[in-house]
Structures are given as structure tokens and as C-alpha cells.
Structure 1
């Protein structure tokens, strides 16, 4: 299933580790937005890895949203994503 993953983390070092983790798993859409296709086990692994990384952060925000096939077809796109081969852009 496709997932959208977003974060808001103010600490530079922790944010850099989150980005490195997400770049290994997913495609970067915008600076704090990623997208990827994951199995249930994979999305749990991503969640666990991110939770481990952010445990020392002050008020971190992580958002992982599943996108069903029907919803994926109705996503509107405008502009260019940061990485190539991304099928949509959140606006």
C-alpha cells in the first residue's frame, strides 16, 4: 500500500537522522514529505525506526497516512517533486 510520511522536528541533528532514515525507505516529495509503497511489516519497521530516532526530540510530529488505490487516483498534482519518478505531489 502507498503511504505518505511527514515530519516536523525542530532539532537539526534529529531531523537529519529522520531524513536519512526516510530516504532509505521512501521517495522525497517535499522537504518534510515522503511517499513509498510498504507492506504492513515494512511500515511497522519504519514506524519503529522513526520512534527510536525521535525519542529525545522536543515535541516531534510524525504522520504516516495510508493511501488506498481509489484515493491515489484522485490526488491532484501541481509542480515538481524533489525526486524524480514520484507519481504525485501534495498541495
Structure 2
């Protein structure tokens, strides 16, 4: 699924413990919830001047391993990735 460990990844998961979606990234094989008041949606991050820098440096909460969450069934009782895309890769500015 993630073929470049050096990439900056942005996506969404369903989190049953908050009964809703969360904005996430992947760091060292761990899915990290980066939802915040500053950026409550993926769209908010994408509209920033430097979205890749924000995703790479913002604080977050570890949710679980990428392998575990990617393997979970699509069921509201489990953390699971949400469409439309599993992840979108953001390339840092050159």
C-alpha cells in the first residue's frame, strides 16, 4: 500500500472511539491522528501554503500500526481507512 517510507502521507480513518472520521498520516509504520482545530479536515490541510510540511511536523496521537488498521474489516466497530482514497501522497516542495 505505501511503497515509499520517505513519503508524506495524508488520509482519513474511521475511529470508533470518537464515533467519526479522523485525519491521519503514517510515521514509521504507525497511523497517527493529526486532526486538530487548525486542520479538522483533509481539505483544510490541502489548502495550506505548505501542506507537506504541516503533515510532516504537526503533533498527533498514535492510533495503531499501519498493518493492523489496513487489515481491519470495513466495520464501524474497527479503525478502518475511508474513501475516496486510501492515501494521497504529498511531495515536499523542491
**Fold conserved between structures, TM > 0.5:** no
Q: TM-score range by the shorter chain?
A: 0.3 to 0.5
Higher gyration radius (CA): 1
Higher strand share: 2
| TM-score normalised according to structure 1 size | 0.34
| TM-score normalised according to structure 2 size | 0.33
